[in-house]
Each structure stands twice: as C-alpha cells, then as structure tokens.
Chain A
Amino acid sequence: MAPKLEELSVGQEIGTRSIAVTRQDLVKYAGASGDFNPIHWNEAFATGVELPGVIAHGMFTMGSAVQLVSDWAGDPGAVVDYQTRFTKPVIVADTTGTGEPGAVIEVSGAVGAIDADARTARVDLTVTYDGQRVLMKSQAVVKLP
C-alpha cells in the first residue's frame, strides 16, 4: 500500500535496512551495470592506486540504498528524482567462501519535505558504513497518490 501524502509529516521515519555486501555482489553489479573498473574487484589493483582495498561502486551503494524508498512507496516508478554525493568509500573485505559479509551498509530514511501541489514527498536517506556516512545529501523525491 502506498503511503498517503496527507498522512505524512516532515521528520517521519520510513524505516531502516541493513545491506550485507560481498565481493561477489560487486562482481554481479559490475556485470549488470557494465562498470568493470578493477578497483571494484581486484585487491592488488585497488591498493596500487592508493585505495585501502577493494571498494564498492558508488552506484551500487546509491542503487541499493534507494530500495528502502521504492518499497515504502510501493512502486519503484514513483521515484521521480534521486540524488547523492559520494563522500567515503565502502571497503569490502574478501570473505569468499565464509558466508560472512565483507561490509554492511546501514540505511535509514525520513521524510524531509512535502510538496502538496506537486504531490511529492522528499525522503532523506542516511547511509553509513563502519559508523561513517558514505553518502551525503542523499535525497529521493517520490510521487504519491
């Protein structure tokens, strides 16, 4: 059920989500998106360009974080605008074969603004990894019935 615009208030929380990430997830995202930059799958290459290790695609983090909003809205097509700044990398440890995540991204969302004329609500996302925000000004605008 889609939330009703009239029943929303600024500051209202829409929920939280934990996203477990493995190296395999990054390989899957590389294939699905066509972004094969080796910093997202090769440790030696990543450290060779002065990164602390293999890092998630910023677009993987952005794309998976918005699922909280899509599911809250009930219709992924309702997300009419979505933006973010990438501030810190998500470093994904090699846990291949252990069943453990290589990193965990925490997402929470709250209503940041309501536009009654446009019938949209802006959801502000807080996206953290290892206690630090990895996305800033992460805002999704949702069209509501």
Chain B
Amino acid sequence: MTINPDLQGRSYPAVEVYDVGREKIREFARAVKATNPAHFDVQAAQALGHGDLVAPPTFAIIVAQRADAQLIEDPDSGIDFSRVVHADQRFTHHRPIVAGDQLIAELHVDGVRAMGGGAMITTRAEIFAVGDGTQREKVATTTSSILVRGEGQ
C-alpha cells in the first residue's frame, strides 16, 4: 500500500482532553532520568514561579503522539506503523506544561513527500489548555517528521 498524497493539508480536530497529573509528571521525569526537584516537589516548582509540578521539556510527546495516532490509524492514510521511523522532532513551548493542565491537540498534516518507495510525513500538533468555558490557551506546538519505509528500505 502506498501513502495517500491527499493527506497533505488534512487536519484532525482535538478529540479528547488529556489531564496532566502529578504522578504522570513524576513517572515521565524518572523515565527520562530527570532529577530536577521541580518535577517532583510542588514547593520546589512553586519556588521557581510555577503553579504546580512542571513537566519535562519533552512531556508534550504524550499528547502529540496520541494526536498522531489518529492519522496513523486512519485506514485512508496508507501508513504501516511497523515501517515508521521517527526522523525529527521539535517542541515549541508557549508556556510550561504543569500538573492540573487539561490539554487538547489539533493535528495538521503539513507535508507529504515521496522518498523512494516510502514517504516522509510532517505533522504539527497545536496543543491548547482548556478551562471551564470555551477559552483555549496556546501551550505548545510540536512538529514531527516520520519516515514510512517502502519495501526494501
């Protein structure tokens, strides 16, 4: 199966809210061998001016990859997940992610480029915090390129 070239320009709306919990921040921080007290101790985070525990700089990948899954699992995309290689990744933080945030992600397919028998696909997740009302606050923008290897690649 080949990658659908019409994916470029496609968007997937936010489908679910991700609740950022303190224990998830601690667990993720340990998993990337982070030791800064601001990930573990609320008072240490507050001493740096944050409202609660601060997430490590790559924590948003959890939210971004959930959004990416919508594209990868879209039967119309033609993407075979077992042939996917992560090529590059970027995080731009408009403000730090902290425990208690409720995040949603909109996914945009910014580029689809044929490479050999495969394709390089660039996606962008716009991550917002949502409150009780309809307001959204921009929190992070992540961009990711994946290489879907063709046969023999």
A and B form one complex: yes
Q: Which of A34, A75, A137 has the most CB of B within 10 A?
A: A75
| Stretch from A54-62, A96-104, A108-116 at the B interface | A54-62
8 Å CB interface, B25-77 against A: 27-28, 30-36, 38-39, 48, 50, 54-58, 61-62, 65-66
* Contact call A60/B32, Cβ cutoff below 8 A: yes
Q: Which residue of A lies closest to B95 (CB)?
A: A77
For the complex, is A28 an interface residue (Cβ under 8 Å from B)?
yes
Contacts of A77 in B (CB 8 A): 38, 48, 50, 54, 93, 96
For the complex, is A16 an interface residue (Cβ under 8 Å from B)?
no
For the complex, is A1 an interface residue (Cβ under 8 Å from B)?
no
| Stretch from B3-11, B81-89, B103-111, B123-131 at the A interface | B81-89
* Contact call B57/A79, Cβ cutoff below 8 A: yes
Query: How many chain B residues touch the partner (CB < 8 A)?
Result: 36
* Contact call A76/B36, Cβ cutoff below 8 A: yes
Q: Per a CB cutoff under 8 Å, which of B36, B56, B81, B86 touches A63?
A: B56
A75 to B34, CA, bound (A): 12
- With contacts A32-B27, A140-B57 known, is A62 near B89, CB below 8 A? yes
Contacts of B50 in A (CB 8 A): 77
* Contact call A63/B88, Cβ cutoff below 8 A: no
A81 to B90, CA, bound (A): 7
* Contact call B35/A34, Cβ cutoff below 8 A: no
Inter-chain pairs besides A63-B56, A76-B54, 8 sampled, C-beta below 8 Å: A58-B89, A59-B86, A60-B31, A69-B57, A75-B54, A76-B34, A77-B50, A81-B92
Interface residues of A (CB under 8 A from B): 19, 25, 28-29, 31-35, 37, 49, 58-60, 62-64, 66-67, 69-71, 74-77, 79-86, 137, 140
Interface residues of B (CB under 8 A from A): 24, 27-28, 30-36, 38-39, 48, 50, 54-58, 61-62, 65-66, 81-83, 85-93, 96
8 contacts between A and B (CB under 8 A): A63-B56, A70-B57, A76-B56, A81-B91, A81-B93, A82-B58, A84-B88, A140-B57
